[in-house]
Amino acid sequence: MSIGMRDGLFANARLVQYLSGATTNYVGARKIINGQDHASQIAKTATDLEQLIFASTQSAIITPNFKQAYAHYA
């Protein structure tokens, strides 16, 4: 699956077209594997996870409101 996503074997689209240092398009990246099936829902989860990972490295910015917003992931 990893090789197919990187080399564009499944949908004539490569992962780097949607996710790279300059681009973050989770909805577009979804079509590489499963078309647009649940694309916006998965993109929202990916964005939430990305924010959680970033926040975990920034202990000074974690406020009670931020913790509460992501409590359902705990």
Considering its fold, how many domains does the chain have in total?
1
Confidence at residue 18, expressed as pLDDT on a 0 to 100 scale? 93
Spatial CA neighbour of 74 closest among 35, 37, 38, 48:
48
Between the CA atoms of 28, 34, 38 and 44, what dihedral angle is there, to the nearest 10 degrees?
A: -50
| Residue 48 lies in domain | 2-73
pTM of the full structure: 0.64
pLDDT tens digits, one per residue of 34-66:
888 899 999 999 999 989 988 888 765 555 555
26-34 vs 39-56: helix crossing angle, rounded to 10:
120
Q: Which residue has the higher pLDDT, 71 or 25?
A: 25
The two three-digit tokens of residue 60, written as one number: 């000074």
* Element at 52 (helix H, strand E): helix 39-56
> Which residues, 6+ apart, have CB-to-CB distance to 47 below 8 Å?
26
Confidence at residue 63, expressed as pLDDT on a 0 to 100 scale? 55
